Structure 1
Amino acid sequence: MEKLLMGSGSLNNMSNKGYGSLLLSLLLLSVVTEAQALFHKGFSKFQRQKAALSPGGLSSELWFTQKLDHFNGADSRQWKQRYFVNDVFYKPGGPVFLMIGGEGPANPAWMKQGTWLTYAQKLGALCLMLEHRFYGKSHPTLDLSIDNLRYLSSRQALADLAHFRTVIGESRGLSNERWVAFGGSYPGSLAAWFRLKYPHLVSASVATSAPVHGTVNFPEYLEVVWRSLASVNTNCPVLVKKASDTLAERLKDPKTYDNITRDFNLCTKLQIQTEMDSAYFLETLAGNFMDVVQYNEDNRAFEGVVGTNITIGVLCGVMADTSLGDPYSRYGAVARLMMDTLSMKCLNASFSNNARDMTNTSWDGPAAGGGRQWVYQTCSEFGFYQSSDSPNQPFTGFPLHYQVKQCADFYNISAEQVAAAVDETNEYYGGYNIRSSRIVFPNGSIDPWHALGITQDITDQLPAVFIKGTAHCANMYPARGQDLPQLSLARDHIFLLLQQWLKQ
């Protein structure tokens, strides 16, 4: 069964699927705003619409008292953290499932749909979801100043989870029940680390699409994008590279700026005054492809995500359409398709506007939905910068130093401090060498984030489920009739592991 789930591990060997629907929830996040341009960086939840919950076992938002600083006994400051409860499937003696919030508002839609609820129904589990500090409505501080952001970290978030689990366990009589942590993407990492650091509080974890290894430079992301595009049409990434190279060359000549402004439907006339301006523009356009690849053919529509119908096949179809002109012109057509799908009037590709938004420290600021917070976490803990430095990827013009300079510009964190912070993160959690038990690591072969995850079994107690042909967090979404057989098998395999582990 393991071989059926995992495939060969080589994206080049993936069978071509009939990619026909428009896409994406990703698309969705494509490049349209500064915030949306962060989705492919692991920031993929803050812009989603909320789903209303019906009564009868599904809670409205609830609030839990947390310490601001779990690691300073002399600091008694507290704040309120948002959480949700679904006890529809709970049977006395059943396990407790804890869905971990991440780099955006906790979405109540997960309390009504998702694979974890299928597991909960079968196992009689109580389901809880805890929003991450500094995201959504969980505001520990008065603003997002640099001084306050120092209380935003994965370690503080894990301590939030531990305290929540302890107090809720005691107050609801669940202290002796088995708790299982669930999460996808960054919350997947937290799920794994929660089991690693607090094994007496959580019995097992499902760490989906979890990047457990921190790295400052993450060029492998775009290398996977190349292979994923090529899995649909071998010429697709070649055409994308030609288009990106052409655009980068034209950006050197101010005489082309009027045409580029029209070609990509920019909100204001293109102005390239520094390397940061051109890098931001080129990265923004690359984000169309990065986002679509990351969430290719997922089932995020249930979350209220706009434009969940654009796939790799759709984008590669546009890039292959000679009637649209040369590859550069087709690249512009992709950008316009994204904007049309998202009902965006124009593309804001100004780095100065982005810097203004990202340095706004108000909770009402344009980047307070999660952008300012998540980029801070990348600068202070993880890195994850998807640079164009590798020759084996299709894009041009956004090197690592452009990415890291934003840490200094936005948070006064130097390149040396970023590198030291990432090293410390790997030292603390173990990176690829994580050592624990009863953690399963599902990953999709198309998802670029799998390059920083666990894709091969470490031990029989730390198994990997590498799902051929699927994208980011695919196994977490509600099942559909058009799901790949290996995706359905992966969900079943994870359930069997949970059954086994809950008996240990």
Structure 2
Amino acid sequence: MAAAQLPPSTPQAQYMTQRVDNFDPQNQGTWKQRYWVNDTHFAGKGKGPLFVQISGEAAFNPIWVVADVESMDNAATFGAVVAAVEHRFYGESQPFGDLSTEHLAFLSSEQALADLAVTIAALKEQYEPTAVVVFGGSYSGALAGWFRTKYPHLADVGVATSSPVLAELDFVEYLQVVTKSLENPLVGGSTACTGAVASATAAIEAALKTDAGRQMLSTKFQTCETLSMQSSAQDVSNFLSTIIGSFMGVVQYNIDNNAFEHGGKVNPNTVASVCKTMTTTSATPLDNYAAVSAATNLAFAPSVPAHAQAFGLRAGAPAPDACIDISYSGMIAQLQNTSLASAAAEGGRQWTYQTCAQFAYFQTTDAAAPAQVFGPASFIPLSFYTGMCADIFGAAFTPAVVKANVAFTNTHYGGKDLAGTRIIVPNGNIDPWHALSVTTPDASRETIVPIMVDGGAHCSNMYPASPNDLPSLTAARKQITNQLGKWLPAPGGATA
């Protein structure tokens, strides 16, 4: 949201001096990290807690410290002062003047957690809160769980929403959950829907075997370049990842009440609408698939951030003349751009680096049908992603190195075996990311509280409440507040 659209009550950004390398005493380089504080609901020093919103892989939108989102609603309930901290290398929190691979060596979750520790220590000294709660969603949800685990003296409670705490090289479960979610009648899915997707996928697989078939697909899916038998395997996978991504994005964010971030513009694409299109009998499943792609990749294109366009949409191409860019070399060139003024600097280059250096989370078609209905392993193989790592960041990022990076991340943080205490872990069961989160209660870790929202999507509990919310989502928000009430102290007291 542009600054002009923010409410007048939005606090101004403040800046915390951080070290470039928190773990090297010989490196004394510093930079300025953005953060925000809203003390509207604060009960006062020694009387109320500090809530900290951890930002993730994008510029922080300060609407989150004034809107009726989860952390702000709970701040009103518990008399908390709310702070939000932008992640290093995103938004205006830039340690360097560019995003060179040499500089990205200082972009890691460990460095981000250390930055957060510095800021929270300073805020604790300033506000003298009764307790500290860290909130995050998606990647920043994992950061919340990890911060509570690694820095228990600075945070008393963590709320780790939709948190992929398990790093995974070949994230085959992603499309398996998408498939299952498209069959879920609670959100408007059906087996007829996934059956139609499977039929369309078979038609795509057959068409890719001939030059005429590839040209037909280019016409139906409105690609910027024409597919042919001379197209590289990477171009084909890039095309497939974009059209399959139509379903991935719809399922992941199904009816999340996030229009407040986009000037009130509501994404009309939902599981129900996609499945209605896919099961229309007046057209073939392939034509219906192309209609879903147009509705998600093209018609809604003006709202897609530039860093997302780098992965499919031609940057800046407005509907209805937008087209799907299938050029792998073009995508790589965008993501190789190290300028802070580039489209990739909005988050695409940085997050791609983090996946190659720490998490992977590579969403392939390696799982066999019928567990996922989006194509054989050859459609989006693991090599497509590991090859990107080397092509963008250099030959040092071999498949073996990327695999080792993922293994170390799980060794460092513990994967799903979070060692911290007093961590709430909400997830939605149609959200593919719940497969990498903590979802099952464990009697040996009773102060880690998983909450599963039946029919819930990615980070759904974090957004403002809506009259259209599922009962399970309303109940989850209440459970989160009740759990915070059990763990937060009475004014002037101590946590349990």
* TM, length-normalised to structure 2: 0.89
Distance in 1 of aligned mates of 2:464 and 2:213 = 47
Aligned counterpart in structure 1 of residue 56 of structure 2, from 68, 81, 102: 102
What are the equivalent positions in structure 2 for 1:346-425 lying under 5 Å apart? Answer: 346-391=323-368, 392-396=371-375, 397-412=379-394, 413-425=397-409
Q: 1:277 aligns with which of 235, 244, 261?
A: 235
- Structure 1 equivalent of residue 212 of structure 2: 255
Q: Provide, for residues 213-254 of structure 1, a one-character-per-residue CA deviation record: whole Å limited to 9, x for no partner.
A: 011011001000110001111121121122123223322322
> AA paired with 1:494?
I
Distance in 2, matches of 1:400 and 1:348, equals: 21
The size of the alignment, in residue pairs, is 453
**Kept after mapping to 2: 8 A contact 1:50/1:109:** no
Q: Distance in 2 between matches of 1:466 and 1:110?
A: 23
Who is 1:469 aligned against? Answer: 455
Give the CA deviation at 1:82: 1.0
The aligned counterpart of 2:65 is 111
1:26-73 Cα deviation digits (max 9, x unpaired): xxxxxxxxxxxxxxxxxxxxxx656744445x4122211111000001
**What is the percent sequence identity of the aligned residues?**
40
Q: 1:387-441 deviations in whole A, cap 9, x for unaligned?
A: 1000110112001111211111111211111111111111111111111111010
1:313 aligns with 2:272: yes
Distance 2:161 2:2 in 1: 22
Counterpart AA for 1:85? V
Instruction: Give the match for residue 3 of structure 1.
Output: none
Which residue in the other structure is 1:59 paired with?
A: 11
Report the equivalent of 2:426: 442
Any conservation in 1 of the 2:277–2:291 contact (CA below 8 Å)?
Answer: yes
Question: CA shift at 1:108, angstroms?
Answer: 1.1
Structure 1: distance between partners of 2:323 and 2:234: 21
Instruction: Give the Cα–Cα distance (whole angstroms) in 2 for the partners of residues 173 and 314 of structure 1.
Output: 48
Q: Which amino acid letter does the alignment assign opposite residue 478 of structure 1?
A: P
Paired with 1:319 and 1:253, the residues of 2 have a C-alpha distance of 25
Does the residue aligned with 1:212 lie in a helix, a strand or coil? coil
Matched, 1:136 2:91: yes
1-side partners of 2:482 and 2:446: how far apart?
Answer: 13
Aligned to 2:77: 122
1:431 to 2:412 alignment:
no
Task: Give the distance between the partners of 1:51 and 1:430, measured in 2 at CA.
Answer: 43
Task: Say whether residues 1:211 and 2:164 are aligned partners.
Answer: yes
- Structure 2, unmatched stretches of 5+, are 303-318, 490-495
Matched, 1:75 2:30: no
For 2:331 and 2:293, locate their aligned partners in 1 and report how far apart those are by CA, in whole Å: 19
- Cα distance between partner residues in 2 of 1:304 and 1:168: 30
Residue 361 of structure 1 deviates from its aligned partner by: 1.1
Measure, in 2, the Cα distance between the counterparts of 1:261 and 1:469: 35
Higher relative contact order (CA 8 A, sep 6+): 1
Structure 1 residue aligned with 2:477: 491
Provide the rounded CA distance (Å) in 1 between the counterparts of 2:242 and 2:323: 13
SS in 2 for 1:235: helix
1:102/1:187 contact within 8 Å kept: yes
C-alpha distance in structure 1 between counterparts of 2:7 and 2:291, whole Å:
42
- Counterpart secondary structure, 1:309: coil
RMSD, matched Cα: 1.5
Q: Please say if 1:323 is aligned against 2:282.
A: yes
Aligned counterpart in structure 2 of residue 177 of structure 1, from 116, 130, 146? 130
2:190 is equivalent to residue 224 of structure 1: no
Q: In the aligned structure 1, how far is the partner of 2:55 from the partner of 2:213? A: 45
Q: 1:167 aligns with which of 122, 145, 148?
A: 122
User: Post-superposition shift, 1:106?
Assistant: 0.4
Residue pairs, 1:1-40, within 5 angstroms? none
1:153 alignment partner in structure 2: 108
- Worse-superposed segment, 213-222 or 305-314: 305-314
Cα distance per residue 1:183-215 (max 9 Å; x no partner): 000000000000000000001010000001011
Taking the aligned partners of 1:73 and 1:420, their CA distance within structure 2 comes to 27
- Change in Cα spacing, 1:50 to 1:221, as seen in structure 2 (3 Å) is farther
**Contact 1:315–1:334 (CA under 8 A) maintained in structure 2:** yes
Q: Distance in 2 between matches of 1:252 and 1:88?
A: 62
Q: Does 1:240 align with 2:192?
A: no
Q: How far apart, CA to CA, are the structure 2 residues paired with 1:268 and 1:403? A: 21
Would you say the 8 A contact 2:70–2:463 is kept in 1?
A: yes
TM-score normalised according to structure 1 size: 0.87
